[in-house]
Amino acid sequence: MNAPTSFDQLVPDIHQRDTPAALIDALKARFGDQFSTALVVREQHGRDESSFQAPPPAAVVFAQSTQDVADAVKLAGQYDVPVIPFGIGSSLEGHLLAIQGGISIDLGRMNKVLMINPEDLTVTVQPGVTRKQVNEEIKSTGLFFPIDPGADATLGGMAATRASGTNAVRYGTMRENVLGLEVVTASGEVIRTGTRAKKSAAGYDLTRLFVGSEGTLGVITEVTLRIYPLPEAISAAVCSFPSIEAAVRTTIQVIQLGVPIARVELIDNNTVRMVNAHSKLGLREEPMLLMEFHGSPGGVKEQAETVQEIATDHGGKAFEWATTPEERTRLWAARHNAYFAAIQSKPGCRAISTDTCVPISRLADCLLDSVKEADASGLPYFLVGHVGDGNFHFGYLLDPNKPEEREIAEELNHKLVARALSLEGTCTGEHGVGLHKMGFLVTEAGVGAVDMMRTIKRALDPRNIMNPGKIFSL
C-alpha cells in the first residue's frame, strides 16, 4: 500500500465554491450580530484537532435555535453553498474544514439541557451542550452520561461522529446511547427521529443513520440520550506490566470471561513518561492498564479480584487502588492528559492519531507489530487505547514543517490500517472518517457499500451542500 501523504491526494474533493455576496447579505439581514465574516472568527471555525489546513469558511452563523439552523440551511441551499455544523472544534479528522468553502453553523450557543427524565433514564439536550456540562446538570439526580471522548466535545458533534471513549466497553457508544434526534435536513425541513421509548421497530432507523453521518446528511439540533444510575460502588486501579503484550493479553482474557469491567485503558511506557513529565504523577514508567469497576460493593469486589488474578498471571504488579473520587481523578488524569502531554513533549508538533479497532482476539496481533514498526521509524509517538473494545490510538508526533515526518507517519498509519482490516477490524473505532480515512473506508467497506452511502447522500442532499467532501467523494 502506498500511503498518500499530501493533502490533495488525501482529499480529492477540495475545490472552493463561490459564496455569492447576495447570500452574505441575506444572512447578515437574517442573523444580524449572530453572523460574522471576521477573519479571526472564520479561522477559528475552519480548523480542528486534525493535522490538516484548508481555507476558512466564508462566514459563520451563531445559531440560537432550530429555526436559526433551518433558515441558515435554506438560505445557503438557495445558492448551493455548503454548510458545516460546528460544535466545539475537537474533531481529529478534518470534519470542520471548509474544503469546498461555505458557511459554518456554530451550534455552541444552543447549549441548554431541555429535559431531564430521571425516572426514564433519559435526558434531552441541545447540540451545543458538552458531555461535562450534561453530567454537571444531571448530577443531582444520581444519574450520569458515560460517553467520554478525550475532549469535552458537544453532544451534537459526538452524535455526528458516533463517538465513544473509555466507558464504551461497558456502556456502548453514541450508537447505543442516542434514543432520538431532531435534525434540520438539507432542504431546511425539521424532522424528529426515534422516541423516548427504549426500543422501537417503527420503520427505518433514521436515528442511527444520522449518528455517524458527520454532518453530511443534516444538522443535529436536539439529542435525546440514555443515562445511567451512578454505580453504588466505583473502584479504580492501575497496574503496571512487564510488556505491552502482557497488558493486552490480560485485557483479552478479562473481556472473554465476560467481566463487566467499566473501563480498561492501555497506556504504553512512552506515554507514561510524557504524562509524568507533564503532570508530575510519578507513575512507574512501564506499560499500564487503568481500570474501573462499577456495581454493588460486592460486585465491584468480585470483578476486581478476578481481574487482579488474571493480571498477576501475566506479570502485572504494583496494583494501586483508588476508591475515593479524588484518588480516582488523580489516576485518570494520566489517561485524560495523555494527548496534551504528548503534544507538549515536542513543541510545535501536530499529532496524526490512528483509530483502528479489531475483534478482541486480534488485538495483540494488530497492536504489537505496529509498536515494532513505530519504534523502528524513529518518530516519537504516544499509544493509548480503549483496549477492552479492541480500539487503540497511536499518536505520531510530527513537525508540520517537515514533510518527511508526515510521510513516515502516514506510512505507519497505512500499515496499521491494512493490518487491522486483514484482522476483520475497522479503520476507525470512534473518530470518524472525515477527510483522512476516505481511502481506507473504500478498502474496508467495499466499493458497493460506499456507493450505497453515496446514493443515500445524493437522495437526501441532492445539491451536496451538507458538509460536502467528507466520508467519501461524490
> Which residues, numbered 9-68, are part of the site for its own copies (CB under 8 A)?
none
Considering only 18, 120, 136, 313, the residue that binds its own copies (CB under 8 A) is 120
CB of 391 to its own copies, least distance (A): 7
Of 172 and 315, nearer to its own copies (C-beta) is 172
Residues 255-284 that bind its own copies (CB under 8 A): 255-258
CB of 4 to its own copies, least distance (A): 18
Report the alpha-carbon distance of residue 441 to residue 360 in Å, rounded: 21
Minimum gap (Å) between residue 178 Cβ and its own copies: 11
- DSSP code of 357? B
Choose between 229 and 242: whose C-beta lies nearer to its own copies. Answer: 229
Which of 370, 461, 434 shows the shortest CA–CA distance to 91? 434
> Using the rule CB under 8 A, is 391 a contact of its own copies?
yes
CB within 8 A of 222, min separation 6: which ones?
66, 114, 124, 125, 126, 127, 181, 182
- Cell 507513575 -> residue: 283
Give the total of residues touching its own copies (CB under 8 A). 89
> Residue 12 is placed in which grid cell?
480529492
Of residues 58 and 168, the one with the C-beta less far from its own copies: 168
Q: Which of 32, 203, 348, 378 binds its own copies (CB under 8 A)?
A: 203
Task: Find the binder of its own copies among 78, 185, 269, 377 (CB under 8 A).
Answer: 185
Nearer to its own copies, 176 or 327 (CB): 176
Residue whose C-alpha is closest to residue 339's, from 287, 279, 387, 280: 279
- Give the list of residues 6+ apart from residue 154 with CB closer than 8 angstroms, or none: 87, 88, 107, 108, 111, 127, 128, 129, 130
Between vectors from CA 271 to CA 147 and to CA 279, what angle results, nearest 5°?
Answer: 80
Nearest approach, Cβ of residue 237 and its own copies (Å): 19
- The C-alpha atoms of residue 158 and residue 211 are separated, in whole angstroms, by 8
Tell me how far, at minimum, the Cβ of 286 lies from its own copies, in Å. 26
Could you give phi then psi for residue 415, rounded to 5 degrees? -65, -40
What is the three-class DSSP state of 115? Answer: strand
The alpha carbons of the chain give a radius of gyration, in whole angstroms, of 22
Instruction: With H, G, I as helix, E, B as strand and everything else as coil, classify residue 124.
Output: strand
Q: Which is nearer to its own copies, 42 or 393 (CB)?
A: 393
Q: Where in 286-315 is the site for its own copies (CB under 8 A)?
A: 295-296, 298-299, 302
Q: Which of 190, 233, 281, 418 binds its own copies (CB under 8 A)?
A: 190
Query: Based on CB atoms, which residue is closest to its own copies, 149 or 380?
Result: 149
Which residue among 191, 277, 318, 474 contacts its own copies (CB under 8 A)?
A: 191
Here's the x/- map for its own copies, 318-357, by CB under 8 A: it reads as: -------------------------------------x-x
Pick from 36, 50, 51, 161 the residue near its own copies by CB under 8 A.
161
Site for its own copies in 89-108 (CB under 8 A): none
Q: Cβ of residue 254: shortest distance to its own copies, in angstroms?
A: 12
Residue for grid cell 480515512: 437
Contact 9, 2 (CB under 8 A): no
Give CA–CA dist 338/340, Å, rounded.
6
Q: Which of residues 357-386 bind its own copies (CB under 8 A)?
A: 357-362
Is 390 near its own copies (CB under 8 A)? yes
Which region, judged by CB under 8 A, interacts with its own copies, from 1-9, 83-91, 191-199, 331-339? 191-199
Residue with cell 472552493: 16
User: Could you identify the residue written with the cell 464504551?
Assistant: 168
Between helix 438-445 and helix 403-422 the angle, nearest 10°, is 20
Q: Segment 219-248, which members bind its own copies (CB under 8 A)?
A: 228-229
29: helix, strand or coil: helix
Cβ closest to its own copies, residue 341 vs residue 466: 466
Nearer to its own copies, 237 or 427 (CB): 427
- Which region among 28-36, 170-178, 346-354, 368-376 touches its own copies (by CB under 8 A)? 170-178
Decide: helix, strand or coil at residue 317: strand
Q: Binder to its own copies among 44, 78, 117, 308 (CB under 8 A)?
A: 117
Which amino acid type is present at position 372? Answer: K
**Among 4, 55, 172, 315, contact with its own copies (rule: CB under 8 A):** 172
- The alpha carbon of residue 374 and the mean position of all alpha carbons in its chain are separated, in whole angstroms, by 23
Q: How many CB atoms lie within 10 A of CB 109?
A: 14
Residue 337 vs 356, nearer CB to its own copies: 356
Segment 404 to 463, residues that bind its own copies, using CB under 8 A: 424-433, 437, 440-441, 444-446, 448-450, 452-453, 455-456, 458-460
Reading the block at residue 402, the C-alpha cell is 517537515
Contact 74, 62 (CB under 8 A): no
